[in-house]
Structures are given as structure tokens and as C-alpha cells.
Amino acid sequence: MPAPFTYQRQGRSIGAMVLLAAIWTALACAWVLIDAAPLILGIIAACTLPALYDVVKNPAAGLSLTQEQLHWHSGPRTAEIPVTEIDRLRLDTRLDFSVRATVMLKNGRKIRIPFEATPPHHSFEQALNARNIKTERHHFSLRQ
């Protein structure tokens, strides 16, 4: 019997904090040094609000796979699926090279695993195969 597979991550990361600081520094320099339009700077700054939310709120996300069930959580959302109900798991590589995971149930229903709770696809696929859960790989499809 394979050991349980677990994946955890936090919303707060060094990369996000450094990126936010760099963007806001560049916006402040553009405002002071080249007198950039405040409206344009405000629109650009508004695009950083989701990253700021993750840094401040620090939401946890994760996934665990045991012999009996697949469980994930992402902020307030959680789900548990018995492994016996899973027909296959579809891994889609998107155009931005991110991988999205969708659980295909035996009754035909599809359940998308939230991106932030999706583990690195190579290790996840190995854990699925160790539990005899079929996987499908799809690369660069625009539709699902």
C-alpha cells in the first residue's frame, strides 16, 4: 500500500511579496519621475490587488490522496471524493504551461480541482498511478 500523498501551499510567498514591492516601486517612480497619469497608474495598481490579497490573507490550499479518498481544500472550499468513485483524472496543460486537474467520476460528472490546490503534475501523476487511478494527459487545448 503506497504512503498517503499530500501537498500543501500558502498564498503568501517571497516571490509574490518581491513582485508586489517591485511593481509598486516602479509605479511610484513613474509617478514622481515622469509624471505618469494617476489613472493609468491606478489601473495598473488595481491589477496587483489579487496578489496583495494573497499576501495579506495567506489562504492555505492543499490536496491529500490516500488509498480510500481524494481530499482537497482551497480557502473555504473543500471536497472529498472516495477513490472508488473516480473513473480517471484528466491533466490539461494550458497555453501558459500551467496544469489543470479534473476528476472524472464514474457517473460522468466532472469536478475541477482548484488550481491553487493542484500539486506538481509529475509527482501527482505518479501517486495516482501507484493507486491504479487512470490518468489522461492533454496538451494545449483551448477547450475542454
Domain boundaries, the chain: 5-9+60-139, 11-57
Q: What is the rounded distance in angstroms from the CA atom of residue 70 to the CA atom of residue 120?
A: 16
Amino acid at 142: L
Report the Cα–Cα distance between both ends of the chain, in Å, rounded.
Answer: 33
Q: What is the rounded distance in angstroms from the CA atom of residue 89 to the CA atom of residue 86?
A: 8
pLDDT (0 to 100) of residue 110: 92
Q: Which CATH architecture has domain 5-9+60-139?
A: Roll (2.30)
What is the pTM assigned to this prediction?
0.72
Q: What is the rounded distance in angstroms from the CA atom of residue 32 to the CA atom of residue 120?
A: 42
3-state secondary structure of 129: helix
Provide the 8-state DSSP code for 96.
T
pLDDT (0 to 100) of residue 21: 95
Q: In the block, which residue shows the cell 487545448?
A: 141
pLDDT (0 to 100) of residue 93: 84
Residue 106, burial from CB neighbour count under 10 angstroms (0-12, 13-18, 19+): exposed
pLDDT (0 to 100) of residue 139: 79
Which residue numbers in the chain have pLDDT < 50?
Answer: none
pLDDT (0 to 100) of residue 141: 63
pLDDT (0 to 100) of residue 72: 92
